[in-house]
Structure 1
Amino acid sequence: MFSTTRRTVSLWAPTMQHGAPPSALLVRALERVAPREDVRVSRVVVELLGPVPISDIEVRSWVDRPGANIELVVAELWARSPDRVDQNGVVREGVERAVARGTAWRMTTVDTSSESHQADASLKPLSEGTSHNWGEMWKSGYLDNIEIFALTELGGNGPGQVWARPTPALVLGEEMTPLERLFSIADIANGIGAKLDLNQWTFLNTDLTVHVFRVPEGEWVGISAETSTGPDGFAMSAGVLHDERGPIGRIAQTVLVRPRP
């Protein structure tokens, strides 16, 4: 059981977590379940099944599809829903439910260093970024606890590009693994690539899919992301993830777009 702090709070509501901390907690479980020295995670899908509350969180994980070379592992976050008052004024207690689910392919590793290749260009170095202030509209517990250096004007033409790193640990007293650190940041790609006016629109992502072709190194995560918005309330955020050596994978997110009341 894990206790949630206010450092996880989303900008969309003070009662829910930003998508990044739950994603990282799922990855922690996906890496640890039935651990093996000869495999690593190659792809993670996180489904946000509803608002992840600022409350105690239970983690459940299992091997869904075992295999000698390829295995599918699953993790879920469970939390108690808030009590509610029904139409007759009776208080109904909340129930335990899954609030987020992660699945990952773990595959055996072999040496392919002689054939290493990257399809995407590297980001400009961290030294060329400028410290980014999200502004009052973007203030939240989570965003106040990450460092961001912008390489482009966010919300302008072309992809948004940043370097970012979390300041607190994911779990108190633990050093984050490279993938935990990556997922502590990756979910902000939706905001980095957004073109919508936050005063007029909300744009919550309901999932994220991340493919990692190289294990990230170092503290900083680079993101180059852009969002395409359709005509009927949906958008897609897509981006490239980096460490300071270069690209390490790609991310895609489904985005629910709604006008503010």
Structure 2
Amino acid sequence: MSTWSDDMQHGSPPSALLAWVLRRCEQRPDTRVTRVVIELLGAVPLTEIRVRSWVERPGRRIELVVAELSACGPDGTWRAVARGTAWRLQTADTSAIAHAADPALPPRTTSEPLPEGGFWHSGFIDTVDWNWLTPLGAPGVSHAWGKPNPVLVEGHPIDAVDRLFLIADTANGVGTKLDPREWTFLNTDVTVHIFREPEGEWIGVSAETSYGPDGVAMSSGVLHDDSGPVARVTQTVQVRAR
């Protein structure tokens, strides 16, 4: 359930499901997903859903994979509610030159409390174990660690990359400087560039949102595991006064 409404899904589970499908579409052991773009075409309802995927651009070293999520409406018709694309690259051993451009996230310590109220204690947010290093809304880049616990696909335990995508869509919330009692700030997309596959159960977020003068904002951040940065995330955000 979304933090904004009890009749729509939070963006994280649909995004993570599309990424799950993109990773497994005609999967090859010598490739991995490197950049994933999730487009939220509208509110994802709490109803029956289905996903289809295909290789849009096949190749030996570079492939483009597409997935589409559809939801069943009250009248029984299906409509597309989210779409994902992923570049999948052939891998090679470059461990000798491995380097992370972003600084590591501070380790998990005593957690800052989440604000009172239903917005920060509802739906998907409550399925994640949180360790907040920065008070929400504090100036500058905000930092938090999250360990998602929900089952994404029945019969398949979630792995570290699944956890990465379950956390990625929360960057907008981690980095926000706005009070949700006064403003709405919904993202229309999530873009994740993964330069190293994560490991472990916890995913860290360093994020901040930049606000334009015309109701549009951009959330940008870095995603981490316990060994350091693994990816960058950006989101386009529509901002409105309540």
**Shift of residue 134 of structure 1?**
4.4
Q: How does 1:62-141 map to 2 (within 5 A)?
A: 62-82=54-74, 93=75, 95-126=77-108, 128-130=109-111, 132-138=113-119, 139-141=121-123
In 1, Cα distance between equivalents of 2:110 and 2:39: 32
Q: Which residue of 2 aligns with 1:27?
A: 19
Q: So what's the TM-score if we normalise by structure 2?
A: 0.96
Q: Which residue of 2 aligns with 1:166?
A: 148
Q: Is the 8 A contact 1:131 1:148 kept in 2?
A: no
- CA RMSD in angstroms comes to 1.1
Q: Is the 8 A contact 1:31 1:41 kept in 2?
A: yes
Structure 2 vs 1, CA of residues 246 and 48 (structure 1 numbering), >3 Å: closer, same or farther?
same
Q: Confirm or deny that 1:144 pairs with 2:126.
A: yes
Q: Confirm or deny that 1:251 pairs with 2:215.
A: no
In 1, Cα distance between equivalents of 2:93 and 2:43: 41
**For residues 103-142 of structure 1, what are the alpha-carbon distances to aligned partners after superposition, in whole Å with 9 as ceiling and x for unaligned?**
000000000000011110001111x241643421313211
Match of 1:177 among 154, 159, 162: 159
In 1, Cα distance between equivalents of 2:65 and 2:94: 24
% identical aligned pairs:
57
Q: So what's the TM-score if we normalise by structure 1?
A: 0.90
Match of 1:43 among 5, 21, 35: 35
Moved more, 39-48 or 163-172: 163-172
Q: Confirm or deny that 1:157 pairs with 2:139.
A: yes
| Structure 1: stretches of 5+ with no match in the other structure | 1-8, 83-92
In 1, Cα distance between equivalents of 2:157 and 2:50: 20
The code of the aligned residue for 1:111 comes to D
Q: Which residue of 2 aligns with 1:57?
A: 49
**Structure of higher CA gyration radius:** 1
**For residues 16-40 of structure 1, what are the alpha-carbon distances to aligned partners after superposition, in whole Å with 9 as ceiling and x for unaligned?**
0000000110011001110101100
Q: Is the 8 A contact 1:46 1:208 kept in 2?
A: yes
**Residues matched between the structures, number:** 241
Q: Confirm or deny that 1:12 pairs with 2:10.
A: no
Q: Which residue of 2 aligns with 1:186?
A: 168
Structure 2 vs 1, CA of residues 12 and 29 (structure 1 numbering), >3 Å: closer, same or farther?
same
Q: Is the 8 A contact 2:113 2:135 kept in 1?
A: no
